[in-house]
Amino acid sequence: MVENYLTLVYCCRNLHQKNEFWHFSSIPSLKPDQMKIFYLTTKITLFLLFGLNGLQAQTIQTKLDQIELMKQFLGNWQCESGKDTMVFWNAKPYGIGFEVDYKTLTKGNMIMEAKQLFGYDKKTDKYLAVNMIKGMDIEIWAIWFISNKNFELMQYSDMSDPEKAIMKVKGEFKSPDNYVETIVVNNKPVKTYNYILIK
Amino acid sequence: MIAAFLFFCFCGIQGQNVRPKSKKFPSDIIVVDTLIQAQTTKTKLNQVDLMKQFVGTWEAEIGKDTSAYWDMDPYGSGYVASLKYITKGKIVKEGKGLYGYDKKIDKIVEGGITKGTDIGVYVMWFITESKFVLIPLSDLAHPEMLSFVMEGEFKFPNILLENTLIESKTVKTKTWTKSKR
């Protein structure tokens, strides 16, 4: 819609330069200054008519129900994160969010366990995740869907300016029981994980 | 989800939130700035050790017939918290939280969900052996735009006072007593 508006302004300008623009040619009583004002007024009106409507439509179209979409994560997932190493990630509903217990096993031996809390934050229209791995510092993350199937995850500190995040995760639900996550560093994918819903 | 978290954790990207806020409470700026300075200039406090004072089950009278119960159970180097408000034997409010240390900022970070409400993420730090301050994590990078400040003090190992201030005015106080429930 915005592109349409720009095309329209461009055409009007060209027509004006060729003295073919009906607004000006058909109103001979207008002086040059008045014509400029008239031209600017027309531009502003066109912008308000086409540009803002277009932007509004775009905003409404892209508004996603983050709470509903995040429910796709509920359940017991597993992922092969390395040779002989499996991650088990179990998300259970809690309030407007979910609580997670997860662990990593290598050849059947637990090498890591942790807890997470995911909750909605209406101020940012995103989910915030608290991540606490035994023996490590606490971490806060932000996660949100950018389409019905695609989501992004990054550090809380990067949430206000996601484009500048050095590291982020881009994820996609391939089906209700399968999603993939790609680690992106400096806009380059470095590793992909595949998660399968086991129940 | 976890694989990605682990990847991040091990890579250790640093930084603090810079989410803009609209409110400005100059008096709170002074309070928090002073508190941050106090921590920096005096002997460095061991935030992880001091956090251990929270361990246990705490109880507070919230209003007529209503008591709050707050459990803090150790988990790794942090804590898993559960909160319940009980009125005449019925749970009227409940929540869960995770508390842990963040060495990048030398402070304790807390994230919690109360059922039916948004997640809350806070940062707290001890300014003396017995006193601490808690603010929203989003306000840490902008102490001049504080939403609120909570000041806490362990009067005794089993008595904890909490005082919530907005614009330097007390809006809520709680007295927690450690119980053997």
Write out pLDDT tens, residues B126-136: 999 999 999 99
Q: How far is B142 from B135, CA to CA, in rounded Å?
A: 11
Q: How far is B114 from B71, CA to CA, in rounded Å?
A: 14
Q: Closest Cα partner for B179 from B160, B158, B162? A: B158
Q: Are the beta carbons of A133 and B6 separated by less than 8 Å?
A: yes
Q: How confident is the model at residue A34 (pLDDT cuts 50, 70, 90)?
A: low
Q: CB of B85 within 8 A of CB of B91? A: yes
Is the per-residue pLDDT at B32 higher than 70? Answer: no
- pLDDT reported for residue A30: 52
**Structure-model confidence comparison of residues B43 and B14, the more confident one:** B43
Which residues in chain B have their CB less than 8 angstroms from residue A120's CB? 118-119
Strand intervals (E) in chain B: 56-63, 66-75, 78-87, 90-102, 107-114, 119-126, 131-136, 149-156, 159-166, 169-179
Domain residue ranges in chain B: 23-179
Backbone region of residue B81 per phi and psi (left: phi > 0; alpha: psi in -120 to 50; beta: other values): beta
Q: How confident is the model at residue B141 (pLDDT cuts 50, 70, 90)?
A: confident
How much is the mean pLDDT over chain A? Answer: 81
Q: Are the beta carbons of A195 and B17 separated by less than 8 Å?
A: no
Could you report the per-residue pLDDT of A37-70, keeping only the tens digit for each? Answer: 656 666 556 555 555 555 554 455 568 999 999 9
Q: Are the beta carbons of A96 and B118 separated by less than 8 Å?
A: yes
- pLDDT reported for residue B21: 39
Q: Are the beta carbons of B9 and A121 separated by less than 8 Å?
A: no
Closest residue in chain A to residue B17, using alpha carbons only: A157
The amino acid at residue A182 is T
Of the listed ranges A3-17, A54-68, A170-184, B82-96, the one predicted with least confidence: A3-17
Specify the DSSP element, H or E, that contains A66.
helix A66-70
Q: What is the interface size between A and B, counted as CB pairs within 8 Å?
A: 161
Is the per-residue pLDDT at B13 higher than 50? Answer: no
What residues form DSSP beta bridges with A168?
A184
Residue positions counted in chain B: 181
Q: Are the beta carbons of B1 and A104 separated by less than 8 Å?
A: no
Q: Provide the CB-side half-sphere exposure for A143 (13 A, CA).
A: 31
Contacts of B174 (CB under 8 A, 6+ apart): B60, B62, B68, B161, B162
Closest residue in chain A to residue B75, using alpha carbons only: A134
Q: Closest Cα partner for B83 from B109, B111, B58, B119? A: B58
Which residues in chain A have their CB less than 8 angstroms from residue B76's CB? 132-136
Q: How far is B35 from B176, CA to CA, in rounded Å?
A: 23
Q: Are the beta carbons of B17 and A79 separated by less than 8 Å?
A: no
Structure tokens at A184: 């992106």
User: pTM of the predicted model, to two decimals?
Assistant: 0.75
Quickly name the fold that domain B23-179 has.
Answer: Lipocalin (2.40.128)
- How does DSSP classify residue B45? P
Specify the DSSP element, H or E, that contains A188.
strand A188-197
Specify the DSSP element, H or E, that contains A195.
strand A188-197
Is the per-residue pLDDT at A111 higher than 50? Answer: yes
Q: How far is A10 from A7, CA to CA, in rounded Å?
A: 5
Which residues in chain A have their CB less than 8 angstroms from residue B115's CB? 94-95
ipTM for the predicted complex: 0.80
Q: How far is A77 from B79, CA to CA, in rounded Å?
A: 25
A42-67 burial, b for 16+ CB within 10 Å, e for fewer?
Answer: beeeebeebbeebeeeeeeeeebebe
Which residues in chain A have their CB less than 8 angstroms from residue B12's CB? none
Could you report the per-residue pLDDT of A137-157, keeping only the tens digit for each? Answer: 999 999 999 999 999 999 999
Q: Which of residues 19-58 of B touch A (CB under 8 A)?
A: 19-20
Distance from CA of A51 to the nearest CA of B (A): 27
Strand intervals (E) in A74-187: 75-82, 85-93, 97-106, 109-121, 126-133, 138-145, 150-155, 167-175, 178-185
Is the per-residue pLDDT at A95 higher than 60? Answer: yes
Is the per-residue pLDDT at B177 higher than 70? Answer: yes
- How does DSSP classify residue B19? -
